[in-house]
Amino acid sequence: MNKFELGIPVVDLQHQKYFTMVDDFAANLGEESSDIETILKEIKTYAVAHFRTEEKLMAKYNYPHLDVHIRLHEEFKIKIEEYQGRLKGDNPPKKNELMSFLRLWMRTHVLQVDRQYADILRYRMRKAS
Ligand SMILES: [Fe+2]
Ligand SMILES: [Fe+2]
C-alpha cells in the first residue's frame, strides 16, 4: 500500500485516476489557454464526482466531521473556478502553476483530511458487513 491508499477501494481508485489525469495533462498539454480550459473542466468534473462519492460514504456511516469536509471540497471547487476565470483574462495561469496546485492540493487533502474519515469508515464498514 502506498501512502495515498486509504484502504477503501472505490476511493483509492478515484484518487489514483485523478492523479493520472493530472499527470497526463502535465505531459501532453501545451500552454494554449483554451486547451488548458478544456482539461481543467474535465479534471474539475472528475474531482467533484469524487467528492460526492466521499460525501455519500461519510453520510452513510455517520462521519462526525462531514460538514467541515464538505466545506474543504467546496473551497477546492472555488479555487478551480478562480483559475477558470483567470484563463479567460489577461493574466492566465501557466500550465505548471495549475498543475502544481492540482497535485499539491489533492495530495495534502488525501493525506491529511481524507485519511481522517477513512480510518473511521474502514472500522464502521467492517462492523456493518
Ligand atoms: Fe478524496
Ligand atoms: Fe475529501
In this predicted model, what pLDDT tens digit does every residue of 41-82 receive, in sequence order? Answer: 999 999 999 999 999 999 999 999 999 999 999 999 999 999
Separation of CA 114 and ligand 2 centre (Å):
5
- Domain tally for the chain? 1
In this structure, is residue 84 part of a structural domain? yes
Q: Grid coordinates standing for 32?
A: 494554449
How far, in Å, CA of 18 to CA of 83, rounded? Answer: 18
Going from the Cα of 70 to the center of ligand 1, the distance in angstroms, rounded, reads 11
Whether the Cβ atoms of residue 6 and residue 114 lie closer than 8 Å to each other: yes
In the chain, what percentage of residues exceed pLDDT 90?
A: 92
pLDDT at 2: 87
Ligand sitting nearest the alpha carbon of 107: 1
User: Residue 89 C-alpha to ligand 1 middle, in angstroms?
Assistant: 30
How far does residue 32's CA lie from ligand 2's centre (Å)?
Answer: 30
For 37, the domain range is: 9-128
Residue 3 lies in a domain: no
Task: Tell me the CA–centroid distance for residue 1 and ligand 1, in Å.
Answer: 16
In a domain, 121, yes or no: yes
Which ligand lies nearest to the CA atom of residue 73 in the structure? 2
How much distance in Å is there from the Cα of 115 to the middle of ligand 1? Answer: 9
Residue 1 belongs to a domain: no
105 falls within a domain: yes
For residue 39, the model assigns a pLDDT of 95
Amino acid of residue 103 = R
Looking at the domain assignment, is residue 4 inside a domain? no
Q: Say if 38 falls within a structural domain.
A: yes
pLDDT at 95 over 80: yes
Supply the pTM of this predicted model: 0.94
pLDDT category at 10 given cuts 50, 70, 90 is: very high
Output the pLDDT for position 28: 92
Q: Domain with 14 in it: what CATH number?
A: 1.20.120.50
Please list, in sequence order, all residues whose beta carbon lies within 8 angstroms of the beta carbon of residue 16, skipping any fewer than 6 positions away: 4
Examine residue 77 and state whether it is found in any structural domain, yes or no.
Answer: yes
